[in-house]
Amino acid sequence: MSENQPLPPDDDEDLPFPLDDDDDAAAPEELPTDDFPIEIEGLTNSFGEQVIHEDLSLKVRRGEILGVVGGSGTGKSVLMRSIIGLQIPEHGCIKVFGRDITAAEDDSEIKIRYRWGVLFQGGALFSTLTVGENVQVPLKQYYPELSAELLDEIARYKVVMSGLPEEAASKFPSELSGGMKKRAGLARALALDPELLFLDEPTAGLDPIGAAMFDELLRELTDTLGLTVFLITHDLDTLYAICDRVAVLADKHVVAVGTIPELLETDHPWIQEYFNGPRARAALSAKERHAKAGVAVDKPGKAGA
Ligand SMILES: Nc1ncnc2c1ncn2[C@@H]1O[C@H](COP(=O)(O)OP(=O)(O)OP(=O)(O)O)[C@@H](O)[C@H]1O
């Protein structure tokens, strides 16, 4: 750990884990689970007069990568923040692993945070900490008894798991490329062996090859670790390549959720324009080209890798 105190993240004000010293937060709890680790019912969110969500409902299936799409400003990030307890909704119920997140009176009451990992849009890495130290932050918080050696070892393991060379653990965020930063953020999101992963536009700003490699990694990790993934994206290639289902936000709620062929059967104008536009056709034909070249296998994610 650097002697410097961590400064707030350089590019996002949010943290994917609490920084309070609540000892209870580390206590493992047996919580009821079912086939929907996330269940949202009748959600309403507003900022002043601006209503973002109105009567929004959505269920996320265990083990799926759910793509979340919608026009700019439709409230995708606000929805994610609501699920992880950073945005208190006006109305509605959000259950994560069967626990009503909205019923928690304060942050420390949300004791299931260790079961999810978050990669915010900008990565939100501590700029004064190395990548390895960034990964260690949530580990130290939830497992303060871990030795420095073990922390180092776990952090290196997560760094490599995220597709970075081991040496990257000792680098500072400013020494990394954009793609490496995303992977470093992913390593930190995976620090606590989460069951749920929240990703806000993870491939934004990456070149197409870097984005495809990130997609491939994400699909592999999801399948290997049995993750459930809530993935906000504008990237049509990502949607076609790795998402099991896609939820569409429009008109203040989820207007449709399903596989892309199922979405195409709806007559919602935004869905038709989005999935039938020239960029969508290009993404689809790229996927088909990969399939013809023998890259595709039975899982959706392998096609576009
Ligand atoms: N803390 C806040 N205070 C006031 N308004 C907010 C706040 N956070 C978000 N908003 C507003 O809520 C709306 C939805 O924002 P959000 O970031 O969820 O959109 P988005 O769908 O993720 O957009 P994009 O695709 O452009 O990232 C926007 O109009 C935004 O200005």
Query: Ligand 1 center to residue 73 CA distance, Å?
Result: 5
Ligand 1 pocket, 233 CB below 6 A? no
DSSP state string for 202-257: TTTT--HHHHHHHHHHHHHHHHHHT-EEEEE---HHHHHHH-SEEEEEETTEEEEE
Burial per residue of 263-280, b for 16 or more beta-carbon CB atoms within 10 angstroms, e otherwise? beeeeeebbeebbeeeeb
**What is the spatial distance between Cα 281 and Cα 40, in angstroms, rounded to a whole number?**
32
pLDDT tens digit at each of 305 positions of the chain? 343 334 444 444 444 444 444 444 444 444 444 599 999 999 999 999 999 999 999 999 999 999 999 999 999 999 999 999 889 899 999 999 888 888 766 555 556 778 899 998 877 889 999 999 999 999 998 888 999 999 999 999 999 999 999 999 999 999 998 889 999 999 999 999 999 999 999 998 888 888 999 999 999 999 999 999 999 999 999 999 999 999 999 999 999 999 999 999 999 999 999 988 777 766 677 666 666 665 543 444 333 32
Looking at this protein, which amino acid is placed at residue 49? E
Nearest CA to ligand 1 atom 18: 75
**What is the spatial distance between Cα 234 and Cα 203, in angstroms, rounded to a whole number?**
9
Mutation pick for ligand 1 pocket among 11, 45, 78, 232 (CB with most ligand atoms within 8 Å): 78
Helix (H) or strand (E) holding 263: helix 260-264
Query: Ligand 1 center to residue 41 CA distance, Å?
Result: 20
**What is the spatial distance between Cα 22 and Cα 2, in angstroms, rounded to a whole number?**
23
Interface predicted TM-score (ipTM): 0.98
* Residue found by looking up tokens 């900022």 in the block: 47
Domains, the chain, ordered by start: 34-63+77-106 (3.40.50.300), 115-231 (3.40.50.300), 255-290 (no CATH)
**What is the spatial distance between Cα 43 and Cα 81, in angstroms, rounded to a whole number?**
13
